[in-house]
Amino acid sequence: MRVPARTRAAAAAALSATVLLAGCTAGAPASGGAQGKGGKGVLTVGMPNGPQTNNSNPFLNTSAGASLGYRYMIYEPLAMVNIVRPTEEPKPWLASEWTWADNYRKLTLTVQDGPTWSDGKKLSAEDVEFTFNLLKDNSALNTNGVPYEGVTRKGSTVELTFSESQFVNQSKILTTFVVPKHVWSKVENPETWPNKEPVGTGPYTLKTFTPQTVTLTARDSYWKDAPEVKELRYTSYNDNNAQTTALANGDCEWTFVFTPDYKKIYVSKDPEHNKLWFPSGLGVHGLWFNTEKKPFDDPALRRAVNHVVDREAIHVRAQATLYPKIESVTGLPLPAGEPFLAPEFKGEKQTVDVEAAKKELEKAGYTLSGGVLKDPDGKPVTMTLTDPAGWSDYLTGLAIIKDNVKKIGIEAKIKTQTADAWTAAVNNGDFDATLHWTNSGATPYDMYQNIMDGELYQPLGKPSPAGNFGRFRNEEATKALREYANASDDAARTEAMNELQRIMVEQVPMVTTAAAPIGAEYVTRNWTGWPSESDPYAPPQPTQPNALDIVLNLKSAS
């Protein structure tokens, strides 16, 4: 796939993140240049997302602000959540403190005293109250689907109430952008408003916008310590090759782009300064089965495929070792998922085991004769593997899987589609198996819910853009998801999470192939203080909410 910044919210918006890439064409727009070329205090950021439309609506995952990530420099959250270390306490931001009550059905926020909007007006609790009512009343802006019930204000506090526990949505609520009431209350249709002159509490304001380059400048009245980065230049390159070239030659200092031969093309150009870090959160990529179709409705067949998929080959050949490996049989990415791992699966790793696969199939009534696997009814087992044309990492992964399943007699073929046609096919259940990503969040709930939630089930032919593309139905899984989301104590949540892992291992609704990276390439020649494996204070991706935290942490190397 062409690697976008896929936050799961954006992925849902694009079907429903971070933001799918536009179709690619040759060439690159004129870049703003690195600090050495563009002047002291400048940080150049790039994404391979093609020409942008002037839209800085922070709530729309299709806006330029989302695609390039600059929305996080203008608008700020109530709290900063580090999804690389999901069990860490959120860092207070526009909210100085917060309290959950009534089993996460009530949230009381205390708004900071001091932040100001870029037009000089002071942030108030009234702005926070207005923002949550805006999301409550406009579903297209509420991309996380949070069921807001009541929003009230008293002094510097805002109280939110919900019809059910929001334990699993805590980080989504706390990372909500706050917008100014005195601006947005005058907007007739906020769901389509392009917001070309954004007013935020962040340290930067929009200076200039073109379809290729967006420039932000630091403002004098920011409520926190002033950033050393005085100007941010975001360039939207037309494709991965153009983005990688700009990164290697110094025109771009920060990006998230898939580069198969990154050591030769990027790192070797300046090993001292050309760095990258690709940590995992709690989302994965994997082979989704359409469990409404035979024989993919049979867990024995799915377990057999799981036994033969060579994840090491996918890691090296398809993902150039950039994406973190998946080793746990539960599909949980480690180390992010370590705190949630069920005791029975600790240390249990995925391995290629063709003999175990054959035994699974034989026990379930399949026969293997002359290199052809036949189902219990005597029909040869075939499989069509689909993904968009041009998504080289996914297509290489499918080619590896095709060879893997041949070892157990399954004849597979690869079918490519346009990204739009593939998206529609996945949503409608018009596929056998496909490589696709999952949602992610502060707990593994988002990942498992995306794969296994029976409440998301739609029959074949009816769109299911919110997830469960494989039409997986298992009452125990749906029950465990509800129990986890609504549990009143940690012990009950732990038991529900353990049950979800057991079902994932036994039923294999998806063959996990890699952790979903929240990584980035960055250049330390001009700026230091980037997050890294030794200092994982934030995911390094420029289109993640923590991008602001990163920029505020950067120091001039000169």
281-517 CATH fold = Dipeptide-binding Protein; domain 3 (3.10.105)
Q: Which ranges in the chain are annotated with CATH 3.40.190.10? A: 202-279+519-556
Share of the chain above pLDDT 90, in %: 84
Confidence of residue 18 (pLDDT cuts 50, 70, 90): very low
Comparing 174-183, 195-204, 236-245, which segment has the lowest mean pLDDT? Answer: 236-245
pLDDT tens digits for 272-284? 999 999 998 899 9
If pLDDT is split at 50, 70 and 90, which confidence band does 141 have?
very high
Q: Is pLDDT of 1 > 70?
A: no
CATH no. of 75-185:
3.90.76.10
Q: Which of 289-293, 439-443, 533-537 comes out lowest in average pLDDT?
A: 439-443
CATH number of 202-279+519-556: 3.40.190.10
pLDDT of residue 241: 86
| Strand, coil or helix: 186 | coil
Q: What is the 3-state secondary structure (H, E, C) of 460-476?
A: CCCCCCCCCCCCCCCHH
For 343-370, give one letter per residue: b (16+ CB within 10 A) or e: eebeeeebeeeeeebbebbeebebeeee
Rounded Cα–Cα distance for residues 474 and 505 (Å): 13
Where does residue 531 rank: exposed (0-12), middle (13-18), buried (19+ CB within 10 A)? buried
**pLDDT by residue (tens digit) across 394-413?**
999 999 999 999 999 999 99
In this structure, the number of other CB atoms found within 10 A of the CB of residue 185 comes to 11
- Asked if residue 534 has pLDDT above 80, the reply is yes
Q: Which ranges of 140-296 would DSSP assign to H, the alpha helix?
A: 170-174, 181-184, 240-249, 262-265
Total number of residues shown for the chain: 558
* Section 221-246 average pLDDT: 94
pLDDT in tens, 306-345: 999 999 999 999 998 988 999 999 999 998 899 999 999 9
Q: Give the span between the Cα atoms of 150 and 163, in whole angstroms.
A: 9
Give 256-267 pLDDT, tens digit per residue: 998 888 999 999
In the chain, ranges of CATH 3.90.76.10 domains: 75-185
pLDDT at 556: 96
The backbone torsions φ and ψ at residue 171, rounded to the nearest 5 degrees and listed phi first, read -65, -35
| pLDDT confidence band for 19 (50 / 70 / 90) | very low
**Res 30: pLDDT:** 35
Mean pLDDT for 9-31 is 32
pLDDT tens for 351-360 read 999 999 999 9
CA distance 57 to 129: 18
